[in-house]
Amino acid sequence: MAVEMLANRNVLIVGATGGIGSETTRLIKNGQANVFITGRDTKKLSQIAKANNIPEEQAFSLDITNAQAVEALADTIHSQIGHLDILINAAGAGYLNPLEKTEADMFSQLIDVNLKGAFHLMRYFLPPMKEAKKGLVINIPGVLGKAPMAGAAAYSASKYGLNGMVKSIREELKRTEVRLTNLYLGGVDSDFWDNIDMRVNRDKFINAKEAGRAVWFLCQQPASGVVSEMVIQPFNHQVI
Ligand X SMILES: NC(=O)c1ccc[n+]([C@@H]2O[C@H](COP(=O)([O-])OP(=O)(O)OC[C@H]3O[C@@H](n4cnc5c(N)ncnc54)[C@H](OP(=O)(O)O)[C@@H]3O)[C@@H](O)[C@H]2O)c1
Mark the segment that binds ligand X (CB under 6 A) among 88-96, 129-137, 173-181, 228-236: 88-96
Q: Which of 113, 115, 137, 178 binds ligand X (CB under 6 A)?
A: 113
Mark the segment that binds ligand X (CB under 6 A) among 47-55, 59-67, 126-134, 219-227: 59-67
Does the footprint of ligand X cover residue 188 (CB under 6 A)? yes
Q: Please, which residue, 34 or 190, has the CB nearer to ligand X? A: 190
Q: Please, which residue, 10 or 95, has the CB nearer to ligand X? A: 95
Q: Please, which residue, 10 or 163, has the CB nearer to ligand X? A: 163
Binding to ligand X (CB under 6 A) within 13-32 occurs at 15, 17-21
Half-sphere exposure of 141 (CA within 13 A, CB side): 29
Residue 195's region, left for phi above 0, alpha for psi from -120 to 50, else beta, is: alpha
Read off φ and ψ for residue 211, nearest 5 degrees: -65, -40
Question: How far apart (Å, rounded) are the C-alpha atoms in residues 220 and 130?
Answer: 20
The secondary structure element, H or E, covering residue 139 is: strand 134-139
Read off φ and ψ for residue 38, nearest 5 degrees: -135, 160
Q: Please, which residue, 57 or 191, has the CB nearer to ligand X? A: 191
Question: How far apart (Å, rounded) are the C-alpha atoms in residues 155 and 107?
Answer: 8
Question: How far apart (Å, rounded) are the C-alpha atoms in residues 101 and 126?
Answer: 37
Q: Please, which residue, 32 or 58, has the CB nearer to ligand X? A: 58
Q: Is residue 28 packed enough to be buried (19+ CB in 10 Å), middle (13-18) or exposed (0-12)?
A: buried
Does the footprint of ligand X cover residue 63 (CB under 6 A)? yes
Q: Which of 39, 135, 161, 234 binds ligand X (CB under 6 A)?
A: 39
Count Cβ atoms below 10 Å from residue 62 Cβ, excluding itself.
23
Mark the segment that binds ligand X (CB under 6 A) among 57-65, 71-79, 146-154, 169-177: 57-65
Q: Please, which residue, 4 or 56, has the CB nearer to ligand X? A: 56
Binding site for ligand X (CB under 6 A): 15, 17-21, 39-41, 44, 62-65, 90-94, 113, 117, 140, 142, 185, 187-188, 190-192
